[in-house]
């Protein structure tokens, strides 16, 4: 049985062909989806248009600090939220950035 972190919290975000973003969970499904069925990230039900995602913001969100490409990961196996106070704090800082973004 997956944990709440794996399903309900974003593991990363993927840029769609129209410039919108889809937040995905640790199971590579849109956040909140637990199904084993195939889910298309580019489905309008999962997409968000976000303002304020320039290179500096993307770099702050990326676990490796690069923030380039069409997929950004907020953490990896070396810094899993809940594994240590530092990893949890780093992840929560990223969520604060996401919460501060506005949508179109």
What are residue 46's phi and psi, to 5 degrees?
-115, -5
- Give how many domains the chain has, as a whole number: 1
Sequence-separated (6 or more) residues with CB below 8 Å from residue 15: 21, 70, 71
Q: Which structure tokens are listed for 101?
A: 């973004």
Q: Which structure tokens are listed for 58?
A: 């993307």
H or E element in which residue 84 lies: none
Sequence-separated (6 or more) residues with CB below 8 Å from residue 10: 23, 24, 25, 31, 74, 95, 98
User: Domain range holding 15?
Assistant: 4-103
Provide the pLDDT for residue 49.
Answer: 93
Those residues of the chain that have pLDDT short of 50 are none
DSSP 12-44: EEEE-TTS-EEEE-TTSSBTT---SS---TTSG
Provide the pLDDT for residue 34.
Answer: 87
pTM value surpassing 0.85: yes
Provide the pLDDT for residue 36.
Answer: 85
* Digit-coded pLDDT (tens) for 3-18: 888 889 999 999 999 9
Provide the pLDDT for residue 103.
Answer: 82
């Amino acid at each position: 049985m997956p944990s709440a972190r794996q399903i309900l919290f974003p593991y990363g975000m993927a840029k769609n062909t129209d410039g919108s973003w889809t937040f995905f969970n640790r199971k590579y499904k849109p956040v909140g989806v637990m199904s084993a069925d195939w889910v298309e990230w580019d489905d309008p039900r999962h997409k968000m248009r976000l303002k304020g995602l320039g290179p500096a913001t993307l770099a702050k969100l990326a676990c490796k600090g690069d923030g380039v490409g069409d997929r950004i990961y907020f953490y990896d196996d070396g810094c899993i939220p809940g594994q240590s106070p530092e990893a949890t704090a780093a992840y929560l800082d990223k969520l604060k950035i996401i919460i501060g973004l506005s949508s179109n």
